[in-house]
Amino acid sequence: MTSTRPHPLFDAANAVYAAQLGEIAWHEITVDPSIAAMTAEHTARVRMAIDSLLAREPGRPLRFLEVAPYCHYTAQQVAAEFGAQAHAFDISPDSLRTAARLAREAGVAGEAVGTAGDFHDLPYRDDWFDVVFIASAVHHTWRPERVVAEMLRVLRPGGLLMLDNEPVGGRLCLYRFRSNRAESYTPFERALSDHGALHVVSSPFLGSRPEALFGMVENDRIPLAVWEESVAGHERLGWELTPVVSGFESAVEAGSGSGPAVAHDLLERALAAAAPLLDERAASLGFSLPDAAEVEALLARARELSGWIAAARDPGERQRRRADAFGAALRALVRKAGNGRAAAGDAFRRELPLDRGIRIDLPRDAAVEIGLDRVLLPTIEPAAAEALAAVFPPEDWQLYTEGNGVHVEMNRAAHASIRLPPRAEDGILLLRLYTVPSEAGVYRVRLAAGEAAESFIVAQAESRLARIFVPAAIDRVELALAWPDGTAAELPMHVRASVCRLVPVRWRRAG
């Protein structure tokens, strides 16, 4: 996405609050049929660890924390089963509210204290929790060691830290681009996948392109050494590495004899098959292939690591080396070092305001603050049709309910306006958009608010977050669809807005 941002502090607002802004748009709509099943799976793992490995302190309830639960309600389940003082901490207050609702609908009697904030700076006391659990979320940061340190800090001596399904970066990966999920592969991606080389060209962890479109950090390159060092000095009760192995990796680990040569031939065939498919659509999605120098450097590493893996002294060391070379999923269970009882008193180390049942621990910045608790504009749903007509003019937009129950506003033509209410403050407009490709070729979507503009290319069907700075004096945002040559693209119903939020911004010093 390309942009023009005329306000000197707009980048500051994005830098501090980008994750919170993304979550507002991403989690206002939850269409995820796996929530109940994943909650049950997480709860089973936590239950087993508590029953078999945790030394309980007599005379007080179990204290449990899940970090970044999304809409899963593991904390409520643990509260119900163990009579625990359960807490759930997530960046999104709406996700926490959804989790509480889903727990009630599932008949779960336990309750959890929900807190929304930044997991780099947990608001809890040192040494307070007995168990801290996180699944598939530490990698949503460029500072994973900081997040692990925070979770260990709030865990009491002898308490259990549980990490589930976290990525280990692979040394034999080119990381050329973020791929689609398998069901959305382009022919280019499919060719690399069918030849066993997509993992090595893109990433050991495929399908992160959708999350990247919403401004989420997808750090799939965390070295194994970072994970090991982050828990150094504590007892590893479980340390399960599941290497990511496709055709290329299988060839590499076949041995220092013919293995590297087979890997070389496999990669060459994969690149040859994919090259003719690197068309305008694929290139506009950011896809690319390595040059000859990159391929040669990769194959040199493959020859080196093939022998290194084969020379491992025992099966455990071999698995570690495979994970380091190929990338892996990590599941860890760690007992915090030290002796002594858990901290007394309340769980929190600072006072937090309460908003609709959730404690709010927003980031703090000297230059800018945003009103995450004062999000403007009506929710897109039929019940709000009259209010929506003032924002999405009926001559430009059509309100529609899709087959999955999600309500959207669809564009009627190549140009459409979004009208904003009078206000005294600047704002950031957030749009969750679903864009439909055109058989005629790629096209560009441009959003403009005065001098500020955001634009992106549409090459395939996908959701994305658009965010644009809107000064207080601007009363509308203009949407325009155009072909690469600049002519209007008359593509009705190709842009569908499911979330539209205007977040107020207050500048604390002159820019």
Domains, the chain, with CATH or none: 2-15+374-507 (2.60.120), 118-335 (no CATH)
Secondary structure (DSSP) of 107-132: T----EEEEEE-TTS--BPTT-EEEE
What are φ and ψ of residue 441, in 5° steps?
A: 135, 180
Would you state the pLDDT for residue 376? 84
Q: Sort residue 338 into left (φ over 0), alpha (ψ -120 to 50) or beta.
A: left
- The DSSP 8-state label assigned to residue 276 in this structure reads G
* Distances from the Cα of 5 to the Cα of 65, 227, 230, 428, 453, angstroms: 39, 37, 38, 11, 7
Q: Compute the average pLDDT of residues 470-488.
A: 95
- The DSSP 8-state label assigned to residue 330 in this structure reads E
CB atoms within 10 A of CB 285: 21
Tell me: the pLDDT tens digits for 4-19? Answer: 544 555 677 777 777 7
Q: Compute the average pLDDT of residues 280-295.
A: 95
Would you state the pLDDT for residue 156? 97
Q: Compute the average pLDDT of residues 34-63.
A: 96
pLDDT value at 314 more than 70 = yes
Confidence of residue 340 (pLDDT cuts 50, 70, 90): confident
Q: Is 511 exposed, middle or buried (0-12, 13-18, 19+ CB in 10 A)?
A: exposed
pLDDT value at 56 more than 60 = yes
Instruction: Give the strand pairing for 443-449 and 476-482.
Output: antiparallel
Distance CA 109, CA 216 (A): 33
pTM: 0.92
Confidence of residue 395 (pLDDT cuts 50, 70, 90): very high
Q: Which of 109-113, 368-372, 428-432, 439-443 has the lowest mean pLDDT?
A: 368-372
pLDDT value at 488 more than 90 = yes
* Distances from the Cα of 369 to the Cα of 303, 373, 408, angstroms: 52, 11, 30
Structure tokens at 133: 């659990």
Would you state the pLDDT for residue 216? 86
Confidence of residue 26 (pLDDT cuts 50, 70, 90): confident
Strands across the sheet containing 129-135: 235-243, 328-335, 155-168, 129-135, 63-67, 85-90, 112-117, 358-361, 354-355
* Distances from the Cα of 387 to the Cα of 243, 376, 379, 397, 466, angstroms: 52, 12, 9, 13, 22
Would you state the pLDDT for residue 33? 83
Distance CA 189, CA 191 (A): 5
pLDDT value at 511 more than 60 = no
